[in-house]
Structure 1
Amino acid sequence: MMDRLREGVNSIAVKIILGLIILSFIFAGVGNYLISGGNNAAAKVGNAEISRGDFEQAYQNERNRMQAQLGDYFSNLLADPTYVASFRKSVLDRMVNDLLLEQHAASLGLRVSDDQVRQMILEMPQFQSQGKFDQELYQAALRRAGFTPDMFAEYLRKDLVRNQLMTALQGSEFSLPGEVNLQDQLISQTRDIRTITLSLAEFAKKVTLSDEDIEQYYKANTERFTRPEQVKVSYVELSADALKAEISIDDEAAQQYYQEHLDKYSSAEQRKVSHILIEGDDEQKAQAILDELNAGADFTTVAKEKSQDVGSAQDGGSLGWIERDTMDPAFEAAAYALTEKGQISGLVKSDFGYHIIRLDDVKAPVVKPYTEVAQAIKQELVDQQALDSFYAKQSELEKLAFEHSDSLDEAAKAISAKVEHTDFISADQAPDLLAVPAVLQALKSPEVKEDGLNSEVIEVAPEHVVVVRVEESRPETVLPLQEVKTQVVEQLSQLKGEQQALELGNKIVTALKAGNSDVLAENGVAFGEVQMIDRSSPLANTVYSMVKPQDGAKGYAQAKDFDGNVVVIELDKVESKVTPAYHEQIATQLSRIGSQQDLAGVISVLRQSTDIEYHIATE
């Protein structure tokens, strides 16, 4: 167990997991949050707290990740308060679980050394360029995320310790050979069958119904013939995308924008620099190195021997090319103050320690020609004008829909839109635009449904809104028999046809099990050709529950296919074709399932044995 704990931090899987976590964290950024209320903790786990700021940041990170994956579908989900509450709770629960694992790891004495943290940083692909650690990428990423080096190291250390524990728990799981063999044989098993399909449609066609049968079924199943509550809806839609089609940008406007924003289409001045870093506050040591350089020592040699920046020291201190706003402010100011190639700065203090910087080269800014960026400029101007128009029209729509609350005509006219109308619709018949939870909720509100007022402006997607009103409503109603007779006849015929097919199928199976094969000819049916099925077949549940035939005998059963037809099954042969590769795959899957169960079990025990308090509502 302890060997696995020590190995965990160095495993490839852990590095990949941490890389994904850190990449998402860095690019999401760390914001500052205003925290209200008397308790600044979102939750308390034992003696440790999860701050509200950390919770909101984690929630926003996960929200951004889901938004990137699911797009507008996720936006629609977020319009449902119940879903948002559940989503927020899942994020906080996960943070609680992580903290429990950290605490448990600490209680076991798990530790991660500074060298391990340093090595992990050097090996992270997010900080590498051309297969090597890139100090420029590293510093830029830390700045973008709002980290100091110490903050990032501590964040990484916690993840490494927690993943040591997880790797040990999951890596200690194994599957017994007999267990793997049994699963392998079951999963790889195929069965040869022949079938008779008793078509439900054919049986239903032959059913004869009396008026009394129809009326009795109708009265006994009125819920099947009930029309749900329905409304006629009028609505006005406004979207930035639709407005883009109305906007055209000519070359003159695009040229003017280009001239006014040349800096936007120019590459920034780049500087190639090298540095020597002395970490911490040892100014005396840094000054001694600077004195050595000023006395004529070779910068590259000194950097290799004495710089404490492990990423650049091996390259003589080279950081490659940098741009403004990518480095520590003090470092950047000093680097851009150098005027001649080979010039060396004085001591520069940053969050990383003391730097001595050398200017190696300079690349002047390069302006992209207009022809190269013209299309992008026009699209940008279209997008911006569409947004400006959208927000102006949205404000007007909101104002007039409220002032003229008994009609949408004035609001639609003001934004040059058209009032759209639906026929009577129920919630499950609503078109996509109106099927958004926030819209359905508005249509049910007393103000809109009963008082006949316009709704508020409702966002159905980013830069896409709608205002709705109910023009007419009708309550849930049991439809008269004359109106639904066709449905009644169809349903009852299907029901009786199914009963007849099942009865015949059962009769055939019973006779065949008794050795009476004449039942097939008596009922005008015959088995089809032999077919081999696996567990993906719609008949798999029934076929694989049948006892394996012995000594040339056959097995019989009946089932239903995906269309509801009754299928009589004859089982001829059972085979298992096990391959070494598939055997290994099964063993891995079983171990993975066991590992997940072990981890869930540990978390469950930790939750039960730890005082956990939630201080905020996740809604």
Structure 2
Amino acid sequence: MLQSLRDNLKGTAATIIVVFIALSFGLVGLETLFAPSVSGSEAASVNGEAVTETELARAIQFQKRRLEAQFGDQMPAGMVSDERLREPVLNDLIQRLVLVQEAMDRGMAVSDQRLDDIIINTEQFHDNGQFSPEIFTQLLRMQGYTPAGYKRLLAQDVLLNQHVQGVNDSGFATEDDLRRIAALSMQTRSFQYLTVPIADTEAGIELTDEEIQAYYEEHTAEYQSPEQVAVEYIDLSPAVLTDAIDVAEEDVRQQYEQELAERQDQTRRRAAHILLEPKDDGSDQSLLADLQARLAKGEDFAELAREYSDDLGSKDQGGDLGYTSGDAFPEAFEAALAEMAEGEVSAPVETDAGWHLIKLIDIEESQAPSFEQDRGRIENVLRLAQAEELFVELAERLADLAYNADNLGEVAETLGIEARTSALFSRSGGVGLLANRDVIDAAFSDDVLVAGNTSDMLELSESRVVVLRVTEHQKARTKTLEEVRDLVTSSLRRDKAKTLLAEAGEALQQRLRDGEALEEVAKSEGYESQTSLEARRTEPGANRQVLQHVFTLPKPADDDTPVISTMNLANGDYVLVSLTAVASGDFEALAKEQRTGMSSQLADQYSNMDFAAYEDFLKKQSDIDIK
């Protein structure tokens, strides 16, 4: 299975790699040593093939980690709950299986050699540029996979990619498509516009109390305060308890001594070598002697390794094999290395692979930190351990004491912890703890809000629990005019200003329709005007709001009749636009690279639409049973 790999990788390190992978992927029975079996209850089946609960749980955890990495502390409350992720993740697994099955039905396959090459060349499995069996196994264990299970999953991924790529590569765009797209996407427009600032108009508007009152009454729906509650709560976790825990000096020193006794200091050595494979004519021995002589004269070891070493896996790195803790290479190799000083080159060493000249590049000693250096870490470890024990005890007592308690402050005092009171928050949540969906639901539940009971103990995680009771309840209501007077005044003044601007703008539009140039109109009124000639949809430096509006306008009927239009910017300013010319994009005028890029982009869009339809068709044709 790995013959090609053996042909291309020679020497000690390469032999270890090949043997490791052969064993890892040959002994499927080892799988149960490293990870849960993928058998078990079914979450769904696709054409009789199961999607197991174990697979689903693993996929949900992967999605959680991806979302947490993407959003960090800004993660919306409840976004990564198992319940919320289960349906979309299961649908993804079903769709994946549908595509893999179709690929196999169509005779698609991937060779073991291809899979081995992918694994060998995956950088995450490398140490100092070379495949590391230890890193490979460790990373797989961390993700809950075995080598055999990982290889099966990798095979599915390759099949899936082949299938998707095959469908996507079938997409194409015709010349007519490209010309039509170019005509629209590369279209240019020439226009002028003037801007009337709303601030000047607003400054001259005086409002009466009667107008403000009338506006408020007409827009009461805009001034609603949602239902809100404030809660008294106890938030219990080991982190809350650590500050109150004192760790005795004796315990810290005892823990240090225990760790020191259990610690095994390791020395790691970084080696490079020049490998000469045995030759029937004995030429390897003469070359070996020549290399020794040249090294003795001071020639560079790495350069000689690049030129003469038979280890194709390390010669390009100057013979560098990376670090060993004493067990990575054959016994004779390790024995020689252990006796060498840093920078020293060994006498010839013979192994099954041939003759080696070994250079010790670096020695890395692993030494235990002193007590003072490690004191802070050990104190934190012991403090957290005690806090976790105390948390379990207090959580049990909290559940009993808080049941129907009228005052959580007294409960907290009994437990020696703190109760807090929140600010008002609505059903959409507050900040921090009050953004948690479980907390929000409990606070607005009938049992807590209506009946006035203390909530059940909420287990937000394995190491965090909360109980709460409502201390203040404000029903949804219309805010009084006094509360929103500034907002009402601002809105009314803005509406009046827009009306005045529209009235004044009508007169300006009429002047343009009568044939007066926009630039002259702007100058006579003291307004700023702008001119854009042959502007594209993404014209740099242009006002994005104006540009977007201009490209929604119809084409002028002729060169002498501009299209007149008005708009309001987001800040309320009034804009009068005169569109004078529209020119279609010319596909032939594009550079060859641009035409090629447009063709590729359009083909990709068509391929994506085709593939979505293809996926939907396969899914409808499949026998899918969600448990």
What residue is the counterpart of 1:48 in the other structure?
A: 49
Maintained 8 Å contact 1:217/1:488: yes
Structure 1 residue identity aligned to 2:44: A
* Deviation, structure 1 residue 44: 1.8
What residue is the counterpart of 1:401 in the other structure?
A: 402
Alignment partner of 1:406: what SS? coil
Distance 1:145 1:462, change over 3 A: closer
Structure 1: give runs of 5+ residues left out of the alignment: 1-25, 274-311, 343-355
Distance 1:129 1:473, change over 3 A: closer
Aligned pair 1:600/2:608, yes or no?
Answer: no
* Deviation, structure 1 residue 473: 1.7
Over the matched positions of the two proteins, sequence identity in percent amounts to 24
State the alpha-carbon separation in 2 of the partners of residues 420 and 314 from structure 1. Answer: 63
Alignment partner of 2:473: what SS? strand
State the alpha-carbon separation in 2 of the partners of residues 140 and 240 from structure 1. Answer: 30
- Note the alpha carbon deviations across 1:299-326, whole angstroms, 9 max, x for none: xxxxxxxxxxxxx99789x9987779x9
Which of these residues, 576, 587, 591, is aligned with residue 568 of structure 1?
A: 576
State the alpha-carbon separation in 2 of the partners of residues 115 and 140 from structure 1. Answer: 23
State the alpha-carbon separation in 2 of the partners of residues 443 and 397 from structure 1. Answer: 18
* Deviation, structure 1 residue 463: 4.6
What residue is the counterpart of 2:496 in the other structure?
A: 496
* Deviation, structure 1 residue 481: 4.9
Please say which of residues 455-464 and 166-175 is displaced more in the overlay. Answer: 455-464
Aligned pair 1:66/2:74, yes or no?
Answer: no
* Deviation, structure 1 residue 182: 5.9
What residue is the counterpart of 1:304 in the other structure?
A: none
Maintained 8 Å contact 1:237/1:417: no
What residue is the counterpart of 1:103 in the other structure?
A: 101
Which of these residues, 20, 24, 36, is aligned with residue 31 of structure 1?
A: 36
Structure 2 residue identity aligned to 1:539: V
What residue is the counterpart of 2:234 in the other structure?
A: 236
Distance 1:115 1:451, change over 3 A: same
Total equivalences in the alignment:
519
* Deviation, structure 1 residue 263: 6.0
What residue is the counterpart of 1:442 in the other structure?
A: 442
Maintained 8 Å contact 1:31/1:57: no
What residue is the counterpart of 1:121 in the other structure?
A: 119
Structure 2 residue identity aligned to 1:568: L
* Deviation, structure 1 residue 614: 0.8
- Note the alpha carbon deviations across 1:273-305, whole angstroms, 9 max, x for none: 9xxxxxxxxxxxxxxxxxxxxxxxxxxxxxxxx
State the alpha-carbon separation in 1 of the partners of residues 312 and 106 from structure 2. Answer: 37
What residue is the counterpart of 1:421 in the other structure?
A: 421
What residue is the counterpart of 1:90 in the other structure?
A: 88
* Deviation, structure 1 residue 504: 3.2
Structure 2 residue identity aligned to 1:87: L
Maintained 8 Å contact 1:233/1:422: yes
Aligned pair 1:162/2:148, yes or no?
Answer: no
Distance 1:203 1:436, change over 3 A: farther
What residue is the counterpart of 1:309 in the other structure?
A: none
Distance 1:425 1:497, change over 3 A: same
What residue is the counterpart of 1:224 in the other structure?
A: 222
* Deviation, structure 1 residue 148: 5.4
What residue is the counterpart of 2:10 in the other structure?
A: none
Alignment partner of 1:594: what SS? helix
Maintained 8 Å contact 2:559/2:580: no
Distance 1:252 1:150, change over 3 A: closer
Q: Once superposed, what is the RMSD of the aligned Cα atoms?
A: 4.7
Structure 2 residue identity aligned to 1:565: D
Maintained 8 Å contact 2:235/2:465: yes
Alignment partner of 1:53: what SS? helix
Maintained 8 Å contact 1:267/1:367: yes
Alignment partner of 1:541: what SS? helix
* Deviation, structure 1 residue 257: 2.0
Structure 2 residue identity aligned to 1:606: L
Structure 2: give runs of 5+ residues left out of the alignment: 1-30, 272-310, 337-351
Distance 1:176 1:229, change over 3 A: same
Structure 2 residue identity aligned to 1:595: S
Any residues of structure 2 matched to 1:350-499 within 5 Å, and which?
366-370=366-370, 373-402=374-403, 405-422=405-422, 424-428=424-428, 430-458=430-458, 463-481=463-481, 484-499=484-499
Maintained 8 Å contact 2:196/2:527: no
Maintained 8 Å contact 1:79/1:436: no
Please say which of residues 575-584 and 232-241 is displaced more in the overlay. Answer: 575-584
State the alpha-carbon separation in 2 of the partners of residues 386 and 68 from structure 1. Answer: 28
State the alpha-carbon separation in 1 of the partners of residues 255 and 376 from structure 2. Answer: 12
State the alpha-carbon separation in 2 of the partners of residues 391 and 194 from structure 1. Answer: 72
What residue is the counterpart of 2:528 in the other structure?
A: 527
* TM-score where L is the length of structure 1: 0.69
Please say which of residues 443-452 and 60-69 is displaced more in the overlay. Answer: 60-69
What residue is the counterpart of 1:262 in the other structure?
A: 260
* Deviation, structure 1 residue 60: 2.2
State the alpha-carbon separation in 1 of the partners of residues 531 and 389 from structure 2. Answer: 68
* Deviation, structure 1 residue 236: 3.1
What residue is the counterpart of 2:131 in the other structure?
A: 133
Maintained 8 Å contact 1:237/1:467: yes
State the alpha-carbon separation in 2 of the partners of residues 430 and 139 from structure 1. Answer: 44
State the alpha-carbon separation in 2 of the partners of residues 385 and 584 from structure 1. Answer: 67
Structure 2 residue identity aligned to 1:468: L
* Deviation, structure 1 residue 47: 2.8
* Deviation, structure 1 residue 97: 0.8
* TM-score where L is the length of structure 2: 0.68
State the alpha-carbon separation in 1 of the partners of residues 462 and 592 from structure 2. Answer: 52
State the alpha-carbon separation in 2 of the partners of residues 109 and 552 from structure 1. Answer: 65
What residue is the counterpart of 2:279 in the other structure?
A: none
Alignment partner of 2:625: what SS? strand
State the alpha-carbon separation in 2 of the partners of residues 530 and 427 from structure 1. Answer: 50
